[in-house]
Amino acid sequence: MRVEAFLDAFADAFSQALDQAPDLLAQYAHARSWTPFMLGDAPPGVLRVAARRWIEACGYSQSDVSLHAQWYTLDLCVVTPAYLGAGDYWNSRTVLAIEHENDSDVETEMWKLAHWRADLSVLVFYDFSERECASDALCGDKWLPGVTKRDWLIQKCERLSDIVRHIDAANAERHLLLIGQRGGIASDIIAWRYSTWLDGQFAPLRRLEEHKPQISSASSL
C-alpha cells in the first residue's frame, strides 16, 4: 500500500507541477533548475508535495510526522514522531527516505538507501531521451564502460538489484525506483516509469500512467 500510495502521490504532484511550469524543458536541461523543481522548499518541489500527499494517504496526521531535507545527506525524509528542532531527535524513526539523482552515479544513492532503515525508500533518476536511446552511442557511465545508451537503463537496474540483494535482501520490497525520460527531439513531455521489487530483483519497468491519482491534496506540514 505504501508503494502504491507514493506512485499515486507522485503522479498527482507532477501533473499539478506541469500546469505551473511552462518552461519545463528549459528547467529539465539544467540540474541547477531541475533539482529545485523536484526538491525545492519554496515553492515546494514535486517530491516534497508527493511526500506530503503520501503522508496523508498513509493515515498520518500533521502532528505525527515531520519532513526534512538533507538530514544526514538524505535528499528528503519523513520521520515520526515529528522532530521540530528541539528535543531528542534520535527518538524518531524514518518512514520515508527519498534520493534524487540527476547524473549517472545512481549506485551510490541506492547503496545509501539500502543501508538507511525506512518503511519506504524511493530512488528517482533519469534515463537518456527516447531519441538518444534509439542510437548506438555509448552511455559514458564510469560504472558501465562500453554500454550503449539504449542498454544503459536495463544494466543500471540490474546493478541496483545487486546492491539491494547484497545489503537489504530481507526488506527489499520497501524499495521503489522512479525513472524520468524526455520524449523525442521535438517532445515537451517528461515521461515516468517505475519499478518495484519482485522475485529477487527490480521488476520490468511500467509506465506511471497505469497509476491514476486517487488521493486528495494534502495540507502543508
- The amino acid at residue 136 is D
With bands split at pLDDT 50, 70 and 90, how would you rate the model's confidence at 24? confident
Note the pLDDT of residue 187.
Answer: 58
Say how many Å lie between the first and final Cα of the chain, rounded.
22
Q: For residue 120, what is its C-alpha cell?
A: 519506504
C-alpha span between 184 and 133 (Å, rounded)? 10
Note the pLDDT of residue 85.
Answer: 81
Cis peptide before 36 (omega within 30 of 0): no
Note the pLDDT of residue 23.
Answer: 77
Domain ranges of the chain: 2-210
Note the pLDDT of residue 91.
Answer: 86
C-alpha span between 29 and 149 (Å, rounded)? 18
* Per-residue model confidence as pLDDT tens digits over 49-88: 999 999 999 999 878 999 999 988 999 999 999 998 877 7
What percent of the chain stands above pLDDT 70? Answer: 92
pTM of the predicted structure, to 2 decimals:
0.91
C-alpha span between 182 and 25 (Å, rounded)? 9
Note the pLDDT of residue 213.
Answer: 52
- The amino acid at residue 111 is W
Q: What is the phi-psi region of residue 121: left when phi exceeds 0, alpha when psi lies from -120 to 50, beta otherwise?
A: beta
Average pLDDT of 111-135?
A: 95
* Per-residue model confidence as pLDDT tens digits over 160-212: 999 999 999 999 999 999 999 987 555 567 899 999 999 999 999 999 987 65
- Beta strand pairing call for 175-182 and 120-126: parallel
Note the pLDDT of residue 212.
Answer: 57
* Per-residue model confidence as pLDDT tens digits over 131-161: 899 989 999 999 999 999 999 999 999 999 9
pLDDT higher than threshold 60 for residue 125: yes
Note the pLDDT of residue 219.
Answer: 37
